[in-house]
Amino acid sequence: MNVSLVYDTNNAKEVFKGHGYHHPDSPHEVPTGLDSYPAIFSYPEEKPPIKLWPMVVMLLNSKAAELTDLDRVIYSFDKTQSMTYFVTRLEGRFSLVVIFNFKKSERDSYIKLFMQEMNLNLRGSNMFAGLGQKS
């Protein structure tokens, strides 16, 4: 299993320079191909599964219209590699991707609940909703 936060650098206002601090005047090339979708967080490994990254990028691109609904969880099963992918958009350029190395049900309520709760927590929706409540 892998959980990754993916950043879409395509058409970003500023060039993605990689993880960590970079001097503002240091030159950097615009990422292309698979490098234009870096994982800014990956668990349990520090780096995402590189051999599966083409499928992740393909899903993010092919399901872009569906991912505009920030509460939607997209399911995909790759029969050739026997891998299950769940994807949800956190906001414009950030997506949460969960990969299983076996077939999972599209209707798995635990996974969908996990994805929805992570989405709400990472967006801070619960905290902001609490600010508007009257005491």
Mind listing the pLDDT tens digit for each residue in 85-122? 999 999 889 999 999 999 999 999 999 999 999 998 88
What does 102-127 look like in DSSP terms, one character per residue?
S---TT-HHHHHHHHHHHHHHHTHHH
Q: Which amino acid type is present at position 118? A: M
Q: 45 pLDDT exceeds 80?
A: yes
- Enumerate residues 6+ apart whose C-beta is below 8 A from 6: 37, 38, 39, 40, 56, 60, 94, 95, 96, 97
Burial class from Cβ neighbours inside 10 Å (0-12, 13-18, 19+) for residue 57 reads: middle
Q: Which amino acid type is present at position 16? A: F
Please give the mean pLDDT across all residues of the chain. 88
Model's pTM, two decimal places?
Answer: 0.86
Average pLDDT over residues 15-37: 77
Average pLDDT over residues 128-132: 71
Q: How confident is the model at residue 17 (pLDDT cuts 50, 70, 90)?
A: low
Q: 133 pLDDT exceeds 80?
A: no
